Amino acid sequence: MFARAKPGFQKFLLWKTNNLTQHQFILILSALIGLASGLGAVLIKNLTHFIQELLEGKLIANAHHAFYFIFPIIGLALTLLILKYGLNKKIGHGIPSTLYAISKRKGLMKPFQMYASLLTAPITVGFGGSVGLEGPTVATGASLGSNIARVFQMNQTHRTLLIGCAAAGAMSSIFKAPIAAIIFAIEVFSLDLTLVSMLPLLIASVSAILTSYFFFGSDIILPFQLQDKFLISEVPFYIILGILAAFISMYFTSVYFKMNELFKKIGSPLKRLLIGGIGLGVLVYMIPPLYGEGYNVINNLLTENYIKALGTNLFNDYLDNIWIVIALLAGLVIFKIIATSLTFGAGGVGGIFAPVLFMGSAMGHGFALIVNNLGILKNPISVSSFTLVGMAGLMAGVLHAPLTAIFLIAELTGGYGLFVPLMITATISYMITNQFQPHSVYTMELAMKGELLTHDKDKAVLTLMNIRNLVETNFIKLQMDMTLGDVIHKGVTKSSRNLYPVLDDKGRFTGIILLDDIRPIMFDRDLYDKVTVQELMQRAPEIIDIRKDGMQDIMRKFQESDAWNLPVIENDKYIGFVSKSKLLTAYRQKLIEVTV
C-alpha cells in the first residue's frame, strides 16, 4: 500500500519537514490516532453487542438457557479457527503484549495486531467468553499508533508516546472518561508526565470521546448518578472495604497466574479448547451472570435489581432472602476470575479490565449488604456508593492503577461526591497489595523476566537495552588440556586481548586465564610442556546467563564483582564477553534516546 504511494508520500514528508515542527506533527497524529482508537472501540463494541443480541434475543429467549453452556464453546472454537487458519499468528493478551512491545521491541508492533483483535475479541465475548473488551481495544489502537509512527520513521520515544495516545483514546471512547483515560495511559504504560506528553494525550483523549459521542450519543457504559452523600461515619467501613479489596486482588492475581500455568502445560490447543470451553460452559450455565463482560450485572446491582443482576438460577425463588443474595454475590466474586482464566486458557481473546470491575462491584455491594443486615448500625450505609467504591478498590489492587481507579469512578458517576472514599479505599487496597504482589496482572510476567519498563528512568533505560548487541566474541578460546606453550602460540601471539576463556570439550565455559597470570612464566620455555591450562585458569568473578539475567542483574554483577569483563553463556555454552566500558557507553546512548 505504501509502496504505490511512495512519490506522493515523499512529497508529503518534504512538505512536513518544511512547514511543521516535530512537536506540531505529533499533535496532529495524536488527534488522528485518538479518532482511529475511538472508531476501533466503537467497532469492537458494536460487533460484540450485535452477536450477543442475536444469540440472546433470537435463541435463548425462545429456547432454553442451556444454550449458555453451548455458546461459549462455539465462540472459543471459532476464535481458535480464526487464529490458526485465518491469521496463523499468536495475538497475546492486549495490554501485556503492548507493554512487551514498548519494553523489548522499541515500541514496534506487528501490523496484523491492528485488526486481529477486531476479528477475535467480539466473537470470544459475544458468545459468552467471560472477559472484557478494553484490553483488545487498547491493543488495536496501540498497534495503529506504533505502525503510524514507524511509517513516519519516528524514534522510540515518540512511538511510545503515540502508543500511549492510542491507549488513552481507546479508554476515553469506551468509558467517556477522558481524564481517567489520560491517567490510565500514564500509570499503565509508564509515560513521563511532562507538558510534551500531556498535550498529545489530551488531544487523543478528546478526539476519541468526540467519536464516541458521535456514534453512541450521551449513552455511557455505567449510566448512574450518585444519590447518597458521603458521610464521615462511613469512613471505618471504607477502610475495611480497602483491606477486603486488597485480599480479593491478591486472590484474583494468584488464580489468574496459576490457571495460566496449568493451561501452558497442556500442549494441544484442541485439548485446551475442550477443557477450558467445557469448564466455562458449566460455570456460565450454573451462574448466568458470568456470561460476557458483565456490565449489565453491574448496572442492575447499582439499582438493586437482583432478579436481573443474578439471572436465572436455582435460587430464583429465594432472592427475597438477603443472605441468599449475599451468598450469590460472593459466588460471583469467587468464580468470575475462574471463568476469565478458563476463557483465556481455552484460547479466547479479551482483557481483564471488565472482570475486575465486575468482581469489584459484587464485592462492594455484598459488603454493604452484610454491614446493613448485621443490625449494628442505626442508619444503613449506601449500597450503591459501596458498589462503586468496591470497583475502584479492586482496580487499584489488581491493576496497580489507583489514580485511574479514583478518576474513572468519579467521572462515571458525573461528579466527585465519592472522591474521599475512593481515595481511602483505593489507597489502602493498593498499599497492601503492593507489599505482597509488587507488580500488577499486566506487568508481573514481564517484571519477573526483567523486561518491564517503569517510571524509574534508570531502570527504564536498562530495560530498553539489548544485551545481545553488547556481546564481544573476538576472544581466543582455550581448551582445558592445552599446555602453556599452546597458550603462548595459539592465544597470546594471535590476540590483542589480555583475557582468554577456557572451555571444556563440549563448549561449556569453565574459567578464564588473564595475561597477568602467565606473564611471570611465559618466557620460561622449560615450563611450556609441563604447565597446563587447568593449572593456570581461575574462576570468573561472575557469569552472565543471557537467558536468565536482565540488564539490572548484569549491572549488579559488574558492581559487586568489580570486574571489567564478564563471560556470557547461553544454554550453558560460552558465547562471548561483555565489557563494563561498552555497557556504560550503550547506557549513555540509550539515555539520550529516551530523553529526547
pLDDT of residue 586: 76
Statement: residue 14 has pLDDT above 90: no
For 28, other C-beta atoms within 10 Å of its C-beta total 13
Statement: residue 203 has pLDDT above 70: yes
pLDDT of residue 417: 82
In the chain, where does the domain assigned CATH 3.10.580.10 lie? 465-594
pLDDT of residue 222: 79
Q: At a CB cut-off of 8 Å and minimum separation 6, what does 361 contact?
A: 297, 298, 301, 302, 387, 388, 390, 391
In the chain, where does the domain assigned CATH 1.10.3080.10 lie? 6-216, 232-453
What residues pair up with 578 in beta bridges, in sequence order?
Answer: 566
Residues 549, 553, 556, 560, CA torsion sign:
negative
Mean pLDDT computed over 563-589: 83
pLDDT of residue 459: 55
The helix/strand/coil state of 499 is strand
Residues 411, 291, 400, 453, CA torsion sign:
negative
Mean pLDDT computed over 271-294: 90
- CA pair distance 14, 8, nearest whole angstrom: 10
| Contact indicator for 225, 411 with CB cutoff of 8 Å | no
pLDDT of residue 590: 67
Mean pLDDT across the chain, nearest whole number?
Answer: 84
Which among 158, 212, 163 is positioned nearest to 185, based on CA atoms?
163
Mean pLDDT computed over 135-145: 88
Statement: residue 571 has pLDDT above 80: yes
Q: How many CA atoms lie within 13 A of 138 on its CB side?
A: 29
Q: What is the DSSP string of 202-249?
A: HHHHHHHHHHHHHHHTT--SS-----S---GGGHHHHHHHHHHHHHHH
Angle at 70 between CA 65 and CA 76, to 5 degrees: 135
Binned at pLDDT 50, 70 and 90, residue 1 comes out as very low
Binned at pLDDT 50, 70 and 90, residue 128 comes out as confident
- CA pair distance 339, 292, nearest whole angstrom: 10
Alpha-carbon dihedral of residues 486, 488, 492, 493, nearest 10 degrees? Answer: -100
Which among 325, 334, 336 is positioned nearest to 289, based on CA atoms?
336
pLDDT of residue 340: 94
- CA pair distance 495, 577, nearest whole angstrom: 15
Cα distances from 358 to residues 65, 84, 263, in angstroms, run 22, 31, 24
Q: What is 465-594's CATH topology?
A: CBS-domain (3.10.580)
- CA pair distance 144, 207, nearest whole angstrom: 15
pLDDT of residue 464: 61
**Least confident residue range of 217-226, 272-281, 447-456, 464-473:** 447-456
Mean pLDDT computed over 563-586: 84
Which among 402, 343, 401 is positioned nearest to 133, based on CA atoms?
343
- CA pair distance 476, 507, nearest whole angstrom: 13
Torsions phi, psi for 580 (to 5 deg): -65, -40
Mean pLDDT computed over 33-44: 90
pLDDT of residue 312: 67
Q: At a CB cut-off of 8 Å and minimum separation 6, what does 389 contact?
A: 238, 241, 364, 409, 418, 421, 422, 425
- CA pair distance 332, 339, nearest whole angstrom: 10
Return the CATH class of domain 232-453.
mainly alpha
pLDDT digits (tens, 9 = 90+) for 50-79: 888 887 665 555 444 666 788 889 999 999
Residues 462, 468, 470, 472, CA torsion sign:
positive
Binned at pLDDT 50, 70 and 90, residue 596 comes out as very low
Q: What's the chain's length in residues?
A: 596
Residue the block writes with cell 442451556: 66
pLDDT digits (tens, 9 = 90+) for 387-446: 999 999 999 999 999 999 999 998 888 767 889 999 999 999 999 999 998 888 877 666
Grid coordinates given for 549: 539475567
Query: CA-based diameter of the chain, in Å?
Result: 100
pLDDT digits (tens, 9 = 90+) for 290-342: 988 889 899 999 988 888 888 766 667 667 788 989 999 999 999 999 999 99
Instruction: Sort strands 499-503 and 478-479 into parallel, antiparallel or unpaired.
Output: parallel
- CA pair distance 362, 228, nearest whole angstrom: 19
Three-state secondary structure of 8-35: HHHHHHHHHHHHCCHHHHHHHHHHHHHH
Question: How far is Cα of residue 126 from the mean position of the Cα atoms in its chain?
Answer: 23
- CA pair distance 185, 177, nearest whole angstrom: 13
For residue 490, the 8-state DSSP code is I
The better pLDDT of the pair 47, 534 is held by 47
Statement: residue 3 has pLDDT above 50: no
Query: For the chain, what percent of residues have pLDDT higher than 70?
Result: 89
| Contact indicator for 248, 425 with CB cutoff of 8 Å | no
Domain 6-216: assigned CATH number: 1.10.3080.10
Torsions phi, psi for 159 (to 5 deg): -60, -45
- CA pair distance 456, 453, nearest whole angstrom: 8
If phi over 0 gives left and psi between -120 and 50 gives alpha, with beta otherwise, what is residue 465? Answer: beta
Instruction: Sort strands 499-503 and 509-514 into parallel, antiparallel or unpaired.
Output: antiparallel
The helix/strand/coil state of 570 is strand
